Structure 1
Amino acid sequence: MTITEASAPLSEEEVVRWAAGIEVSPGASLSPRIAGAGTGRPVLAEVPGPRFDARLQGGDVTVHQIGYVAKALAVLHAADPPGGGTVVLESLPWDPLPLWAWAGLTGTQRQLIGKLHGDEALRNRGRTVQAALAERTVWCHGDARTNNIVVAGDTPMFIDWECSGLGRPEGDLGSLCGSLMFDQLNLMDAPKGFEAEEELRALLGRATGHIRVVLAAYRDHSHRRLDSALLGGAVGGSLLSRALMRASQSRFDRVVTVLAGIGRGLLLDPARWRAIDAHA
């Protein structure tokens, strides 16, 4: 059911207080509690140690923890919304950039954005996916990437709730799955040739395994039927966003090419998602 009631957007502090009061498992909340607040963003209770993305890239994450993150999203999407604001989705370069923004891009970013702007089919599909993800059905985190997850003891929790609002659950899952793939592909460092191909296959296999854990755990804890084409498109958009982020770091990078290629394929051909999600 689509939620249509309009109300003023909540502050991030209000959302965090709400999320910190929702238990994913006994004694474990969606978010760390607020330790203090001022004129800026809320200060959360400290959770020592690296964030989830650093743990993943360092091999310090368990299958249980990956599945727990998906369970947390299922609990979030099942909760009564705290307000009526609309989720803020990841921005993608479907529209021309202002001159000041273009001037600040690297050459690799400009090359990638030029390709995206010149691909009308991709641009139209991207806009269609973004519009569908903004349908106001459940309360979403809005930026459910692995770098916005911390681990307290053995329990992952979400931070950085400033983008949260009503949207489609596929948006959160798309961000999470896209970042899980990015975390693995970001490790590519083999030279070109057979060794590089073997490394890419291994990293893609590991990323696919993580994504399948997420999807299985989410479905185990949610009654919602996911739109597979929309989810595949959301992952594709997330990968394009990650490609642009990576392109800001290097003049030329194989990771950028791989991320952009997979992202474009998932957006234009939703059937490719079935190679990852057998239940799509």
Structure 2
Amino acid sequence: MVDNPAEREDLPSGVVLGGRQHVRHLHERGTDVVVKRRRDEDGEQRRSLFVEAALQAAAAACFPGGGAGPVVEPMACDGEQLRVAFHEEAPFDTFLDSPGVLDRAAHVVGNVIATVHGQDLSGAAWAWLPEAAGEHPPLEPIPVDTLAVLSAGTVELAAGIHRQGLAGLLADTLAEESERQVFLHGDLKFDNILAAVDGTAVRIIDWECAGRGMPERDLGALAASLLTETIRRSAVRDDTGGAAESLARIDAETQKAWSAIAALLSGYRDNSRAPGLRTRALVHMTAFGLLCRAHSYTQMTYEFDRLPKLLLKVATNMAVRPETFRARFQ
């Protein structure tokens, strides 16, 4: 074992977590370690985990009593390694083929997130929290001097966002961020949730984007990730049956997401510590989350193909006519 793994040129060996090659579980000197790497212009580089460790510890503090819980406080953060207890649980999206288990787990997630959101941030201990991070789609027209750093697909997506006037439609809701502050995960999506095989227990991972913001941001981000995944699964299947069959397939798949979203919100509202939610803001933040997912896709694939087009269409409908989605979020 290399004493300073940051000096290694290759990706670390170990178990790939959540299907993400840049996240590995290692066992070093008797301790379980999670190592992340990010890609920049100079190639693969280690990603600092100090902020994630601190925010994960803050999240763990929301659940007094110790022992196994939905958030595990890091054992240590040493160098570029986050030392944590390792748990063999399934990524959240594996339950999309078991809707009953998915709904059960979503209800638990809602209850957990309500506890996190329900913390009192007035004390000095919370003063250092940054505003919640996240992947921001290009809502405003793209300056010419930045075009070279964006993929062709992202430029097309940005043009569609600008053409639909989504910046103006979402502006009021996004402005609420500075007024309604809770402790947010900041990147709540199915990728960052592990669940027991029966859906009765969950763990939340990847806290490096945590900070302050409106509660609807977390809930909308998770709702958007579930909708995106079900739309993606239906959109990549064979379309030889024609448009009607394709739409029927997408509708059937997205019903799984809507059912899980209902369970998520039910679990959230069942928690007495949950902040009040504004339905319009929840619809708009889900639309914003769909644009974030479309943005990630176009940046990764360079394509503005069927999936981001569908996401842009759904997001536009939510932004333009949030009242038609009100029943989905109540």
TM-score by length of 2: 0.72
1:180 Cα offset (Å): 1.4
Which residue in 2 is equivalent to 1:230? 281
**Aligned 8 A contact 1:240 1:264 in 2:** no
Spell out the pairing of 1:145-184 with structure 2 (5 A cutoff): 145-151=189-195, 154-184=200-230
Q: Deviations along 1:131-164, whole A, 9 cap, x unmatched?
A: 2134342111111111111235652111111221
Let me know the Cα RMSD of the aligned residues: 2.7
The residue type paired with residue 243 of structure 1 is: A
The residue type paired with residue 162 of structure 2 is: H
State the percentage of identical aligned residues: 26
Spell out the pairing of 1:1-280 with structure 2 (5 A cutoff): 11-23=51-63, 27-40=67-80, 42-53=82-93, 55-57=94-96, 59=98, 61-81=101-121, 82-84=125-127, 85=129, 86-97=131-142, 102-119=147-164, 121-151=165-195, 154-188=200-234, 189-191=237-239, 192-222=242-272, 223-247=274-298, 248-249=300-301, 251=303, 253-277=305-329, 279=330
**Aligned 8 A contact 2:102 2:260 in 1:** no
CA distance in 2: counterparts of 1:22 and 1:157, whole angstroms: 13
Counterparts in 2 of 1:244 and 1:90: CA distance versus 1, 3 Å? closer
> Which has more strand, going by share of residues?
2
**Aligned 8 A contact 1:94 1:126 in 2:** no
TM-score by length of 1: 0.83
**Aligned 8 A contact 1:36 1:44 in 2:** yes
1:89 Cα offset (Å): 4.1
The residue type paired with residue 141 of structure 1 is: H
Q: Deviations along 1:99-128, whole A, 9 cap, x unmatched?
A: 686335443332111121333x31122333
* Structure 2 alignment gaps of length 5 or more: 1-49
Counterparts in 2 of 1:20 and 1:178: CA distance versus 1, 3 Å? same
* Structure 1 alignment gaps of length 5 or more: 1-9
Counterparts in 2 of 1:251 and 1:167: CA distance versus 1, 3 Å? closer
**Aligned 8 A contact 2:96 2:256 in 1:** no
Counterparts in 2 of 1:242 and 1:83: CA distance versus 1, 3 Å? same
| SS of structure 1 residue aligned to 2:183 | strand
Counterparts in 2 of 1:92 and 1:155: CA distance versus 1, 3 Å? same
| SS of structure 2 residue aligned to 1:166 | strand
CA distance in 2: counterparts of 1:64 and 1:27, whole angstroms: 22
Number of positions where the alignment pairs a residue of Structure 1 with one of Structure 2: 267
CA distance in 2: counterparts of 1:25 and 1:200, whole angstroms: 44
Q: Larger Rg: 1 or 2? A: 2
Counterparts in 2 of 1:257 and 1:17: CA distance versus 1, 3 Å? same
| SS of structure 2 residue aligned to 1:117 | helix
| SS of structure 2 residue aligned to 1:144 | coil
Counterparts in 2 of 1:102 and 1:48: CA distance versus 1, 3 Å? farther
The residue type paired with residue 123 of structure 1 is: A
1:22 Cα offset (Å): 3.2
CA distance in 1: counterparts of 2:68 and 2:216, whole angstroms: 24
1:225 Cα offset (Å): 2.2
**Aligned 8 A contact 2:141 2:158 in 1:** no
CA distance in 2: counterparts of 1:196 and 1:253, whole angstroms: 16
**Aligned 8 A contact 1:57 1:183 in 2:** no
| SS of structure 2 residue aligned to 1:37 | strand
**Aligned 8 A contact 1:19 1:29 in 2:** no
